[in-house]
Structure 1
Amino acid sequence: MNHDLIVEGFHGPGGWAEGRRILGLTTRAIGMEWDAAACATATAAGHTVIRTDVAAYPTAPFKGRIVGKVDSPPCQAWSRAGKGLGLVDQPLVHQAVEDLSRGRDTRAKLLAACRDERSLLAAEPMRWHHDLRPEWICLEEVPDVLPLWRQYAAILRGWGYSVWVGILNAADYGVPQTRRRAILVASRVRSVTAPQPTHTQYPGNALFGESLPGWVSMAEALGWSAGQVINTRGDRKTSGGNEFSADGPAWCLTEKTRSWVRRNPATGETARITHAEAAVLQSFSADHPWQGSASRQFLQIGNAVPPLLAAHVLSAATGLPAPAVTTPTTFACAA
């Protein structure tokens, strides 16, 4: 059989898939996703998604077919914004990765010992890597998963893959948001390294070559006038840590972005952030066809991989030219 298929676990609403579109990667792709609203969004956007439990889906139907494997396991169990029980479960997840890399499926036993049932999903990609040995691999998760990705890297290098693993900030790739993520890029047919940044926090510094443009601001991406402020916590009595200027990139989006309020100090006017504006801050198009309730839409947006970041990571994995630096696509709204 020809290796002519990309398989994406934990597909979500289409962050990686939209990244493939940006990159011009036209290889046929199939995603797997459990959440019904995310499946509906991805399908409405034209992507092929199977609604299924990734951990229960067999690898055998894809034997000899996969060219690329992409995974962004759920981050809730690992994120410091939540209970962080995935950090408690970390030794069990490392054991699962080690066992799966040797073809031993101990997931049921290890899952019974986990504090958070989602923790072990971060080990799930190794089952596919062991069974199918794709040509290239991309993994993405919250920064606390970096030690796990380093374990993956050591195993993959032992199988002959070239691997890069580290932390990337989406703002360095033109996304109007300071979103840091643990990334793994691997290939068994080419040497890989980190994708080259296209933007910088400190423009004008050409010490290491041609100066890069500065980070894209929230106001720039959304077509707002300068000087506006974002309040992330509403009218709470406690002070500190709940406002930032829209003249820089947005803070990292989560499902709680639905409560963000834009305030114009010059006029006193306020407006709540819409899901379409939040999508633009993730580098989706303003008209991406989000499905489900308003809260489910914000959840999908907050959990998604920024497509522009995904495009650069996929470029590093596949060897396709990275997306060109362009001016931000602004969202048509009142300033």
Structure 2
Amino acid sequence: MPTVGAPDTLDLFAGPGGWSEGLRRHHSIADIGIEWDAAASRTRAAAGHVTVRADVAQIATAPMRGRIHRLIASPPCQAWSRAGKQLGLRDQPLVHQAIDDLARGRDSRAALLVGCEDPRSLLAAEPMRYIHDLRPEDVVMEEVPDALPLFRHYAEVLRGWGYSTWCGNLNAADFGVPQSRRRAILIASNKRTAQPPEPTHTEHGEEGNLFGEFRDRWVSMAEGLGWGATDRPAPTVTAGGGKTGGAEPFPTQARRALEGSRERGAWKGRSGAADTARITVLEAGVLQSFPGDYPWQGTQTKQYEQAGNAVPPLLAAHVAAAAFGLRQPQEQVASVL
């Protein structure tokens, strides 16, 4: 198996750099990401994030023992996806079996893979191999909401090893990202009590709750892009179109808008008339809270795919702060172009 250097923070299934950008920009932490997709790997490298292009399932963990303190993972979750032909749903028992086996130090992946309808399903168990072998102080996992049962399984195992755990769904809009995007999150630590980040925004805002805390309204799509719409709330981009599972790009309507078809996203301005929204790849990244000059690589389709599938950096920064005992991000609104 290939080996990789051992930094303090390791990011599995790192994609184009959502976690890495959130950590670097808001916490001055550099991680190393393992990613198989060529275009996503090039995007990470162009953005200055240390990247190993490799199959997470083929990386040897032994050289990293004792040197990884934080582990991040956003594994593909075909076995929990409602998209497509849903063949992976039949693989759930095999994924759970792989997690239990790897937690006991038994590598049954090859045998279980033979029975999988979707060969990608077992990738959801890979983080357990790393956790078992490396025993990091802190663990964070992120995926679509349907993956929550998977994360609860991880949490059960980790509690047995003395970790404090929390898992649940968080909405990126509650942390200043200009889209309503729900994500399943697992936080585990053997150094501190695991708890979710405190939201900075609500749908309608709060003038002050019982604890005297104020929260802004959700950031609209127009505001996130700096388009100057003044009436709130302008529609946010809702990831998944109400559905969850697997690779999760923007919803069908929004993705068509992003790719320049006649079906355009729109919101009502002060006049009440629908304004046409023409979304570029860079703007799509901004709606995910990436910087407006993020260097997306690959074909246009691959660039939109990366922007749509990435964890929003601003959400990642808030989750990382709670998970790793860091200060919450001072920037509370996604960047505009």
Q: Which residue of 1 aligns with 2:214?
A: 211
Q: 1:145 aligns with which of 125, 131, 147?
A: 147
> Could you list the per-position Cα deviations for residues 197-220 of structure 1 after superposition, in whole angstroms to 9, with x for gaps in the alignment?
110113136344323111111011
Structure 2 letter corresponding to 1:112: V
Q: CA 1:270/1:100 → structure 2, altered by over 3 Å: closer, same or farther?
A: same
Are residue 8 (structure 1) and residue 26 (structure 2) matched? no
State the distance in 2 between where 1:246 and 1:112 align.
50
Q: CA 1:76/1:100 → structure 2, altered by over 3 Å: closer, same or farther?
A: closer
Q: Which residue of 2 aligns with 1:252?
A: 239
Q: Which residue of 2 aligns with 1:240?
A: none
Structure 1 letter corresponding to 2:235: G
Q: Which residue of 2 aligns with 1:97?
A: 99
Q: CA 1:170/1:320 → structure 2, altered by over 3 Å: closer, same or farther?
A: same
What are the equivalent positions in structure 2 for 1:180-199 lying under 5 Å apart? Answer: 180-199=182-201
Percent identity over paired residues: 56
Structure 1 letter corresponding to 2:174: D
Are residue 39 (structure 1) and residue 41 (structure 2) matched? yes
Q: CA 1:24/1:49 → structure 2, altered by over 3 Å: closer, same or farther?
A: same
Matched residue of 2:188: which SS? Answer: strand
Structure 2 letter corresponding to 1:65: R
Structure 1 letter corresponding to 2:164: S
State the distance in 1 between where 2:280 and 2:57 align.
34
State the distance in 2 between where 1:268 and 1:145 align.
36
Q: State the Cα distance separating 1:188 from its structure 2 match.
A: 0.8
Matched residue of 1:305: which SS? Answer: coil
Q: 1:50 aligns with which of 52, 57, 65?
A: 52
Does the 8 A contact of 1:220 with 1:328 survive in 2? no
Q: Which residue of 2 aligns with 1:115?
A: 117
State the distance in 2 between where 1:118 and 1:135 align.
28
State the distance in 2 between where 1:330 and 1:225 align.
11
Query: Which range moves more in the overlay, 178-187 or 322-331?
Result: 322-331
Does the 8 A contact of 1:216 with 1:248 survive in 2? no
Q: 1:295 aligns with which of 301, 305, 308?
A: 301
Does the 8 A contact of 1:167 with 1:182 survive in 2? yes
Are residue 82 (structure 1) and residue 88 (structure 2) matched? no
Q: Which residue of 2 aligns with 1:23?
A: 26
TM-score by length of 1: 0.87
> Could you list the per-position Cα deviations for residues 190-237 of structure 1 after superposition, in whole angstroms to 9, with x for gaps in the alignment?
112011111011313634432311111101111224389xxxxxxxxx
Query: Where does the alignment leave 5 or more consecutive residues of structure 1 unmatched?
Result: 229-244
Q: 2:314 aligns with which of 305, 308, 318?
A: 308
Query: Where does the alignment leave 5 or more consecutive residues of structure 2 unmatched?
Result: 1-5, 241-248, 258-263
Residue-pair matches, total: 312
Does the 8 A contact of 1:76 with 1:82 survive in 2? no
Does the 8 A contact of 2:79 with 2:90 survive in 1? no
**Alignment root-mean-square deviation, CA:** 2.2
Structure 1 letter corresponding to 2:47: A
Matched residue of 1:165: which SS? Answer: strand
What are the equivalent positions in structure 2 for 1:151-162 lying under 5 Å apart? Answer: 151-162=153-164
Q: State the Cα distance separating 1:327 from its structure 2 match.
A: 4.4
TM-score by length of 2: 0.86
Query: Which range moves more in the overlay, 86-95 or 205-214?
Result: 205-214
Q: Which residue of 1 aligns with 2:179?
A: 177
Does the 8 A contact of 1:258 with 1:274 survive in 2? no
Q: State the Cα distance separating 1:328 from its structure 2 match.
A: 4.3
> Could you list the per-position Cα deviations for residues 93-139 of structure 1 after superposition, in whole angstroms to 9, with x for gaps in the alignment?
11110110000111111111111111111110000000010011110
What are the equivalent positions in structure 2 for 1:263-274 lying under 5 Å apart? Answer: 263=266, 270-274=276-280
Query: Which range moves more in the overlay, 168-177 or 204-213?
Result: 204-213
State the distance in 2 between where 1:135 and 1:166 align.
20
Structure 1 letter corresponding to 2:234: D
> Could you list the per-position Cα deviations for residues 53-97 of structure 1 after superposition, in whole angstroms to 9, with x for gaps in the alignment?
111111011011101111001245533233333332111111110
Are residue 317 (structure 1) and residue 319 (structure 2) matched? no
